[in-house]
Amino acid sequence: MNWLLVLALLAPAPPGAVVVKPVANMYSGASEDSDVVSQAIFGVSVGMVEERGDWAKVRTPDDYTGWMPLASLRRDTEGRPAYATTGKVVEVSSLFANLYREPSVTEHEPLLTLPFEARLEVAARPEAPADEQTHEDWLPVRLPDGRIAWIQRGDIVSHPEPLSAQEAVDLAKRFIGLTYTWGGTSAFGFDCSGFTQMLVRRRGIVMPRDADVQAAWQGVVPIERNKLGAGDLLFFGASPRKITHTGVYIGHGRFIHDTTHGHPGVQIGRLKDPHWAKLLVACRRLK
């Protein structure tokens, strides 16, 4: 075995933390004046690669790095599993979900509004007087800081199954009209590669973050344009070596993508559109 690989395997893992903001920006440097390179959503565990003042350089599960304010994170407790990795866990299945301090939408404003895919630990249901409503439509969850919050059951799923290609296309259409956000990876706003990456993730596959890397990734194979099927990935740019945009083919010469062209946001485009026809440089299918 290569000794460099041995050393890498024996090296201690970086300390971990969990994202506690609904959506936390990742920056190219330790300053909000730096450009946003990506995002991580609530409940995601990250590795802390480096700290500098009130900032940490973090690594997300898709192996992407960027700087994040420490205020967006809560360090993992020594000896305790990372948040929402053991026990009963639920995931937000609505585009957005409100969490409340009690099982009521009228008593107080939401504690948090979380995006699609945010993961939450289920808490034990508190004891209640016999004559009190049981609130079967609600579920108590434990936040990373230990607080108990309530979420409506209609906003969550317990065991999300990987989607088929067509199911991923159907999911994509739920986001039509959602605004474009540079560096975005959540239902609060995606960019093109963040949107495609999410759809592939829902199929049970972790794909790289950026469009040019996605096109060259070993988890896909080239496909001819005349053999495209629903769920195949499309890449656009000045050339195969200068890819700047991506989308997902949905059939009948159409594709869904998050773009700033025309009007910003998730929308359906047509491959015969002259603007996209001249920029399509690669088609890929997941292995």
Residue 9 belongs to a domain: no
**Could you tell me if 194 and 275 lie in one domain?**
yes
Residue 127 has pLDDT above 70, yes or no: no
Residue 180 domain-assigned (yes or no): yes
Give the pLDDT of residue 13.
52
> What is the rounded distance in angstroms from the CA atom of residue 81 to the CA atom of residue 117?
20
> What pLDDT digit, counting tens, does each position of 10-67 carry?
344 568 999 999 999 999 999 999 999 999 999 999 999 999 999 999 999 999 999 9
Q: How confident is the model at residue 162 (pLDDT cuts 50, 70, 90)?
A: very high
| pLDDT of residue 196 exceeding 90 | yes
The mean per-residue pLDDT over the stretch 197-201 comes to 98
Note whether 204 and 274 are same-domain residues: yes
Identify the domain containing residue 54 by its residue range. Answer: 14-75
Note the pLDDT tens digit of each residue in 224-245: 999 999 999 999 999 999 999 9
Q: Rounded to whole angstroms, how far apart are CA atoms 150 and 97?
A: 11
Q: Examine the fold and report which residue of 133, 157, 181 is the final residue of a domain before the chain moves on.
A: 157
> Within a domain: residue 2?
no
Whether 151 and 186 map to the same domain: the answer is: no
Cα–Cα dist 26/37, whole Å: 6
Of the pLDDT bands very low, low, confident and very high (cuts 50, 70, 90), residue 7 is very low
Q: Which of 4, 92, 104, 79 is nearest to 44 (CA)?
A: 92
Three-class DSSP labels, 117-179: CCEEEECCCCCCCCCCCCCCCEEEEECCCCCEEEEEHHHEECCCCCCCHHHHHHHHHCCCCCC
Residues 150 and 190 in one domain: no
Q: Are residues 29 and 95 in the same domain?
A: no
CATH classification at residue 217? 3.90.1720.10
Q: Say what the pLDDT of residue 190 is.
A: 98
- 151 lies in the same domain as 169: no
Same domain, 125 and 217: no
Structural domain ending residue among the three candidates 157, 173, 208: 157
Evaluate whether residue 121 is within a structural domain.
yes
Residues 280 and 181 in one domain: yes
Query: What pLDDT, on the 0 to 100 scale, is given for residue 133?
Result: 52
Burial of 272 (0-12, 13-18, 19+ CB in 10 A): exposed
Residue 35: predicted pLDDT: 97
Pair (53, 19) in one structural domain? yes
Does some domain include residue 189?
Answer: yes
Q: How many CA atoms lie within 13 A of 283 on its CB side?
A: 18
pLDDT at 3 over 90: no
Same domain for 271 and 183? yes
| Total domains, the chain | 3
Q: How far apart are CA 150 and CA 103, in angstroms?
A: 6
- CATH assignment at residue 34: 2.30.30.40
- Confidence (pLDDT) at 129: 52
Is 175 in the same domain as 249?
Answer: yes
Is 238 within the bounds of a domain? Answer: yes
> Looking at the structure, do residues 200 and 278 belong to the same domain, yes or no?
yes
Domain boundary among 75, 106, 128: 75
281 inside domain: yes
Residue 77 confidence class, pLDDT cut points 50, 70, 90: confident
In-domain check, residue 270: yes
pTM of the model: 0.90
